[in-house]
Chains A and B, each alone.
Chain A
Amino acid sequence: MNRTRIPQLALALLAALPLAAAAAGVSDGVVKVGVLTDMTGAYSDLAGPGSVAAAQMAAEDFGGKVLGKPIVVISADHQNKADVASNVARRWFDQEQVDVVADLVSSSTALAVMPVAAQKKRITLLSGPGSDPITGDKCTAYNVHYTYDTYSLAHGTGSAVVQQGGKSWFFITADYVFGRTLEEDTASVVKSSGGKVLGAVRAPFPTADFSSYLLQAQSSGAQIVGLANAGADTVNSIKQAHEFGITPKQSLAGLLVFISDIHSLGLEASQGLYLTTAFYWDHDEESRKWAQRFFARTKKMPTMVHAGVYSEITHYLKAVQAAGTDDADAVMKKMKETPVNDFFARNGHIGADGLHRHDMYLARVKAPKDSKKPWDYYQILKTIPPEQAFPALAGSKCPLVKK
């Protein structure tokens, strides 16, 4: 063959490849999952490297391939900064053929990345952010809010604890949007369940010393001290509540608590704490099996965020398989049509607003003497069905929901 023909032929073949890939339904010949999480900051223990491990497990368990094309998992650290998250996501979509972004863990990064993804028709699978507007007035057609939201935590803990007898409440709230929303949501649930809110105090975010606020909680005489905060604030307030002898006379209700928090606190300080979780590793045989495999990889038991990442990616891959393509519109349709049935959720449904409605669990942290093995921290008191835990689609502020 003439020397100029070979390059031309090669070029033609190269040009044909993407066409061939499109014909098979998978863009760029690969299904790329980007885990965008907080690897080094405040959320790195409850998400971070664990989320990446969960994603890798999901890809491997699926067989490493979908529709004959490889599944590739990449990750990056958004350092909890919205601008970093947005820029990484943009670069991923524009230059690295990433089809779906998972985790995101904090509301500010999620809210920054969602519009970028929607504009470029890529999917965001959120596990970790809580902000209600994500499936409210800020919803997008390419987003799934998978693991929990502020509403479900408030409703789970609020109503279930009141039903268990904890009728009078006092809130210690972290003074930022998340904390305040959590406090408002829970307070309204407490009141509508027949309980009373005796008072609340707003601590600056973040705070290291809660003694002042705990004193106020103590003098209010409320049965339940609701901690409308998260992360280090929650850990510090629980530790100091123990120090000041708040418990056992009064009970603490942590409104956003992860098993990683309990692990760093220890049972001595955190026993008796009420909390709502979307997942507990020791819940049943299936969850135990999966958690042991996660533990083998990461040396830690999974938080609900980790479990959520595994489950949402698996659900995504199944949808790609069923739809025969990784085109975002088709896959979103399939994800919303198909119920979720795995160790994470039984009969979970993703609504038109992108919110995954599934069972939540009310739990109480065990006393040290009741814990029989490592990470044996929770006693599951009650399963809260999705109709009770999550807001109804009918009242949604999301423009995608047809009235």
Chain B
Amino acid sequence: MSARARLLLGYGLLVLLGLGAPFLVYPVFAMNVLCLALFASAFNLLLGYAGLLSFGHAAFLGAAAYAAGYVTREWGLPTEAGLLAGVVVGASLGLVFGALAIRRSGIYFAMITLGFAQLVYFLAIQIPWTGGEDGFQGIPRGRLLGMVDLERPLVMYYFVYAVFLAAFWLIQRAIASPFGHVLRAIRENEPRALSLGYDVARYKLTAFVLSAALSGLAGALRAFVNQFAALPDLHWHTSGAVVLMTLLGGMGTVTGPSVGALLVGALENYLASLGSWVTVITGTVFVLCVLSFRRGIVGEVRALVKRSS
């Protein structure tokens, strides 16, 4: 079988798995994993392809969740408007953060994004309508296009799955496009890319905004799945979690972050009864990954396949 056929088969199997998932596991868990996978894939656009580590991505996830909740619960707008609000809020924040953070690189870039995310967290605590510690409750799932009732778990799942596939396809296209190639060039050797005449800052900013917008989509989607938005969505632990997912699954691979999201989600869900041991296990996984599995699961599998063929 040719490489291309193998790739298509692999994708086909994954799509089938996704279609059957709500019958294998608890649907709400599956939906949450999809949202996390989208978040991680959006994050990976920035880390794996542009080479920029952001420690503040939780801001886009959380702010979008609150925005989506607000427009649907308070203004009574339909679910589609909520998703759009999430994307717009994510993109706008991304533009502001990005424009200021892009000038720096490495750890400085990470710290600036962290700083901005902390500001957003603080704002969320202060602004009265967010509900503060109690959270923004009672977000209605609504009806898709005014017809399809999203309150039913199975229906909601396939909706979330559809959005995920669409966004994933978008990310795939962005990575494979000339834009994606330039990003990789910038990651490998920024001075070279500059000398070749590319407007590096513009490319980085575009990647940042795209990543933020899709993170916003993930956040808004999650708000509808869980039917509330809460402060932990904005906490830097969430920013740390998405780094873990991307690293674990494989930075710089297209499907890696989704695999990482599935693993981290499963870890936290099924091992929840182990209490603090989950933190210990997560930390150990982190350490092992960095030492021996830097390519992440998908990266390692790919290397194995290459070696055997």
| A331→B257 CA distance, assembly (Å) | 47
* CB of A293 closer than 8 Å to a CB of B: no
The stretch from B1-9, B67-75, B176-184, B269-277 touching chain A is: B269-277
* CB of B191 closer than 8 Å to a CB of A: no
Are A81 and B232 touching (Cβ within 8 A)?
yes
List residues of chain B with CB within 8 A of the CB of A82: 135, 137, 226, 228, 230, 232
Give 7 nearest A-B pairs by CB, closest first: A177-B132, A82-B230, A40-B275, A83-B226, A108-B135, A82-B135, A40-B276
B interface residue count range (under 10 / 10 to 19 / 20 to 34 / 35 or more): 20 to 34
Are A177 and B26 touching (Cβ within 8 A)?
no
Least distance between A368 CB and chain B CB atoms (Å)? 32
Chain A residues near B (Cβ < 8 Å): 39-40, 75-77, 79-84, 86-88, 90-91, 94-95, 106-108, 111-112, 115, 131, 133, 138, 175-178, 204-205
Least distance between A290 CB and chain B CB atoms (Å)? 26
* CB of B131 closer than 8 Å to a CB of A: yes
Q: Is the interface of A mostly helix, strand, loop or mixed?
A: helix
Residue of B nearest to A177 (CB): B132
* CB of B253 closer than 8 Å to a CB of A: no
Q: Is the interface of B mostly helix, strand, loop or mixed?
A: helix
Are A91 and B137 touching (Cβ within 8 A)?
no
- Cβ < 8 Å to A, chain B residues 15-37: 26, 28-29, 32
Q: Given the known inter-chain contacts A76-B272, A79-B272, A81-B232, please indicate yes or no for A90 contacting B28, CB distance below 8 A.
A: yes
**When the two chains form the complex, which single residue of A77, A84, A176 contacts B275, counting CB atoms closer than 8 Å?**
A77
| A204→B118 CA distance, assembly (Å) | 13
A-B contact count (CB 8 A): 74
Are A115 and B137 touching (Cβ within 8 A)?
yes
Residue of B nearest to A39 (CB): B275
List residues of chain A with CB within 8 A of the CB of B228: 82-83, 86, 112
| A76→B268 CA distance, assembly (Å) | 12
**When the two chains form the complex, which single residue of B132, B137, B272 contacts A112, counting CB atoms closer than 8 Å?**
B137
* CB of B107 closer than 8 Å to a CB of A: no
Are A108 and B230 touching (Cβ within 8 A)?
yes
Are B26 and A95 touching (Cβ within 8 A)?
yes
Are A112 and B135 touching (Cβ within 8 A)?
yes
Are A108 and B276 touching (Cβ within 8 A)?
no
Least distance between A207 CB and chain B CB atoms (Å)? 13
| A75→B272 CA distance, assembly (Å) | 10
Residue of A nearest to B132 (CB): A177
- Cβ < 8 Å to A, chain B residues 24-66: 26, 28-29, 32
List residues of chain B with CB within 8 A of the CB of A87: 28-29, 32, 226
Are A107 and B26 touching (Cβ within 8 A)?
no
| A86→B138 CA distance, assembly (Å) | 12
Are A177 and B226 touching (Cβ within 8 A)?
no
Residue of B nearest to A94 (CB): B26
| A88→B272 CA distance, assembly (Å) | 10
Residue of A nearest to B125 (CB): A176
| A81→B275 CA distance, assembly (Å) | 14
Listed by A's residue number, 22 A-B pairs whose Cβ atoms lie within 8 Å are A40-B276, A77-B273, A82-B135, A82-B228, A82-B232, A83-B32, A83-B228, A83-B230, A83-B232, A86-B226, A86-B228, A90-B28, A91-B26, A91-B28, A107-B133, A111-B134, A112-B135, A112-B228, A176-B133, A177-B131, A177-B132, A177-B133
